[in-house]
Structure 1
Amino acid sequence: MPIVMRLDRVMADRKMSSLELAEKVGISPVNISRIKTGRLKGIRFSTLEAMCEALHCKPGDIIDWMDDEEYIAAFGALPEE
């Protein structure tokens, strides 16, 4: 049951760059990249809240869940753990 990060879509919809979001949230652009690609072990609620405030969205707009079949249909294979 993979968690899917949708931050890149929300940022594109808002026409916001990684650098701009990083400045508004108070984290590095590298960490924004890690969040966008899902290459992180966790995210602080304070960071998630700051991203939602900067992007005027809800946490569910950024983070999604798919069952294994949906994920494979969308991405071709399950993520490596």
Structure 2
Amino acid sequence: MQFRISALPLIPDVDRVEAAITEIDPAALVDYDAVLASLRLSTSLEPADIAQALAGAGVPVAASQVQRQPSECCGGCGG
């Protein structure tokens, strides 16, 4: 699942966020969109788990800020 977290209280340390998320979901992907000032995540975690991991990484957000994004999967690869 893909998620976007906007309205962050600070610019996150992406390496620290990635470490916190991948500790729980090793297959997760994390990046920061500087244009939109938001974190983007691809993970199997639920919003509450993401918010908890982000808080542990020094980025306090509410689970309601973790917005699930529509799937971009076309099904072509079978994944």
What TM-score results when the alignment is normalised by the length of structure 1? 0.43
Q: Which structure is higher in helix share?
A: 1
In proportion to residue count, which structure has more strand? 2
Higher-RCO chain (CA-CA 8 Å, sequence separation at least 6): 1
TM-score w.r.t. the length of structure 2 is 0.44
Larger radius of gyration: 1
